[in-house]
């Protein structure tokens, strides 16, 4: 009897130890997953946070270099620092304690200062040029006019600005493959959910093991997205022309209703990189198809930032000539390697004309910085961004307009 009892006790003890080991193992796994997920959410090495409302925002307390940024000086000069709310640290003191009137600069990477140190952006240069005035840089890399409108609506009451500066163009024109990918809150909400799911999923060790096993076995390697080619003639812009106009009109009405002057900065793409494309478009419009074809083919072969647009025009040209099969080949050739939201699908001039028209209709002041900068293409550091000289030129042009729109402030005693 004693032997049987001892045997049962031993079995019970082994089972208890086994359960404890299983529980310990589960606790370790869950603890690791929790820590990985927590690290994913607060990872300060990433400059952005995904947002259901804005698509993405500057990550609070980020300090470091922006990935893939063109840098012409020592890297330490390009360190970006955001405060605990995600504002540029250089503006933090003015935002919290400044008693001066505020100017808000809403824009994309050119406003943010891609390719130049933060203190050399046109926003900060303008801040130095204007007395008793704080110019706050709310530009965010990759932003479109839709995102900028949302930002203005969300921060206006807090800042009660005396003037607003707006500049958008390039990102609005970047292609997406269908209407569901156009900039909208529903799209941002969808993307944020999927990215969060992907981020958490990739931290789970069981998923990693399954993925590794599938890779080793050659499973799950489906046909890459876009194989067979997207037809560039049927691509959409992140913000189509009609929506771009609506965004600018809503920004103009928003400021008009609050009695706040508004300034549009009109920019252009790098004139050197777009010279062949612009030449081809002009020849196409005049009906000189042989010359236009030559220029478009050069653009397509360049495999640069304007290749997709070159394909679109070249395919349209072949269609006009009745070469439908050739047009189909050109419209799809190589397009499977393009990434959504990458290259522009409209000329900058098409969107600039919309900005000028809205400005004229609503009495918005225009600063034609693009026209000024194209006289010296060496100021461009890439396809659309400009260097310190370009930012100072833009700031000086803005200063003249702002001083005309706003009264000279009284000097504080």
pLDDT digit string (tens) for 49-93? 999 999 999 999 999 999 988 887 788 899 999 999 999 999 999
Q: What average pLDDT does this structure show over 271-297? A: 97
Nearest Cα to Cα of residue 239 among 326, 193, 302, 181: 181
Going by pLDDT thresholds of 50, 70 and 90, the confidence category of residue 199 is low
- Say how far apart CA 384 and CA 119 lie, in whole Å: 20
Q: What average pLDDT does this structure show over 254-260? A: 98
**Per-residue pLDDT, 202:** 59
Nearest Cα to Cα of residue 278 among 249, 245, 250, 310: 310
Nearest Cα to Cα of residue 201 among 49, 36, 359: 36
Q: Is the dihedral of CA 278, 283, 286, 287 positive or negative?
A: negative
pLDDT digit string (tens) for 129-180? 999 999 999 999 999 999 999 999 999 999 999 999 999 999 999 999 889 9
Going by pLDDT thresholds of 50, 70 and 90, the confidence category of residue 309 is very high
Helix (H, G, I), strand (E, B) or coil at 131: coil
Alpha helices in 258-306 (DSSP H): 275-285, 289-302
Residue 167's CB: how many other CB atoms inside 10 A? 25
Q: What average pLDDT does this structure show over 332-357? A: 81
- Say how far apart CA 3 and CA 9 lie, in whole Å: 10
Both tokens of residue 123?
Answer: 């926003």
Q: Look up tokens 């209407």; give the residue.
A: 179
Poorest-pLDDT segment among 15-24, 130-139, 163-172, 364-373:
15-24
- Say how far apart CA 39 and CA 50 lie, in whole Å: 15
Average predicted confidence (pLDDT) for the chain: 87
**Per-residue pLDDT, 397:** 98
Going by pLDDT thresholds of 50, 70 and 90, the confidence category of residue 303 is confident
Distances (CA, A) of 278 to 88, 371, 380: 37, 15, 17
Q: At what angle do helices 205-216 and 2-42 cross, to 10 degrees?
A: 80
Helix, strand, coil % over all residues of the chain, rounded to 5: 55, 10, 35
- Say how far apart CA 144 and CA 172 lie, in whole Å: 5
**Per-residue pLDDT, 19:** 77
CB distance 251 to 262 below 8 Å: yes
pLDDT reading at 5 higher than 80: no
**Per-residue pLDDT, 11:** 75
Poorest-pLDDT segment among 5-19, 144-158, 337-351:
5-19
Q: What average pLDDT does this structure show over 202-215? A: 58
- Say how far apart CA 187 and CA 53 lie, in whole Å: 9
**Per-residue pLDDT, 1:** 56
Distances (CA, A) of 399 to 81, 284, 292: 26, 39, 40
Predicted TM-score (pTM) of this structure: 0.84
Q: Half-sphere exposure of 63 toward its Cβ, with a 13 Å CA cutoff? A: 6
Both tokens of residue 268?
Answer: 């252009």
Q: Strand 175-176 and strand 80-81: pairing?
A: unpaired
Classify residue 118 by its DSSP letter: G
CB distance 247 to 182 below 8 Å: no
Element (H, E) at 163: strand 163-167
CB distance 355 to 370 below 8 Å: no
pLDDT reading at 212 higher than 90: no
């Amino acid at each position: 009897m004693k032997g049987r009892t001892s045997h049962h006790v031993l079995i019970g003890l082994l089972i208890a130890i086994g359960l404890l080991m299983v529980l310990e193992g589960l606790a370790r796994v869950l603890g690791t997953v929790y820590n990985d997920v927590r690290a994913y959410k607060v990872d300060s090495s990433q400059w952005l946070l995904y947002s259901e409302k804005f698509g993405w925002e500057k990550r609070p307390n980020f300090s470091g270099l922006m990935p893939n940024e063109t840098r012409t000086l020592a890297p330490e000069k390009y360190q970006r620092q955001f405060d605990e709310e995600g504002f540029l640290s250089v503006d933090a003191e003015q935002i919290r304690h400044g008693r001066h009137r505020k100017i808000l600069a809403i824009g994309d990477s050119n406003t943010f200062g891609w390719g130049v140190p933060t203190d050399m952006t046109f926003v900060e240069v303008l801040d130095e040029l204007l007395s008793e005035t704080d110019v706050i840089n709310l530009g965010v890399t990759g932003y479109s006019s839709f995102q900028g409108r949302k930002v203005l609506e969300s921060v206006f009451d807090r800042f009660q600005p005396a003037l607003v500066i707006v500049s958008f163009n390039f990102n609005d024109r970047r292609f997406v493959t269908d209407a569901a990918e156009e900039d909208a809150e529903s799209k941002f909400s969808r993307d944020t959910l999927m990215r969060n799911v992907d981020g958490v999923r990739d931290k789970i060790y069981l998923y990693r093991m399954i993925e590794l096993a599938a890779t080793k076995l050659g499973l799950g390697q489906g046909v890459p997205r876009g194989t067979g080619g997207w037809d560039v003639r049927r691509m959409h812009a992140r913000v189509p022309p009609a929506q771009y106009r609506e965004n600018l009109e809503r920004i103009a009405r928003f400021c008009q209703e609050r009695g706040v002057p508004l300034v549009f900065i009109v920019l252009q793409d790098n004139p050197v990189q777009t010279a062949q494309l612009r030449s081809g478009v002009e020849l196409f419009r005049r009906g000189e198809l042989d010359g236009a074809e030559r220029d478009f083919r050069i653009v397509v072969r360049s495999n640069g930032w304007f290749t997709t647009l070159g394909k679109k025009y070249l395919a349209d040209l072949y269609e006009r000539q009745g070469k439908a099969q050739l047009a189909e080949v050109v419209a799809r050739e190589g397009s499977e390697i393009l990434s959504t939201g990458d290259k522009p699908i409209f000329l900058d001039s098409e969107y600039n004309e919309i900005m000028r028209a809205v400005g004229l209709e609503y009495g918005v002041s225009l600063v034609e910085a693009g026209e000024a900068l194209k006289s010296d293409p060496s100021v461009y550091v890439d396809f659309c961004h400009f260097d310190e000289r370009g930012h100072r030129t833009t700031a000086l042009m803005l200063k003249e307009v702002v001083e005309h729109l706003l009264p000279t402030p009284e000097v504080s005693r």
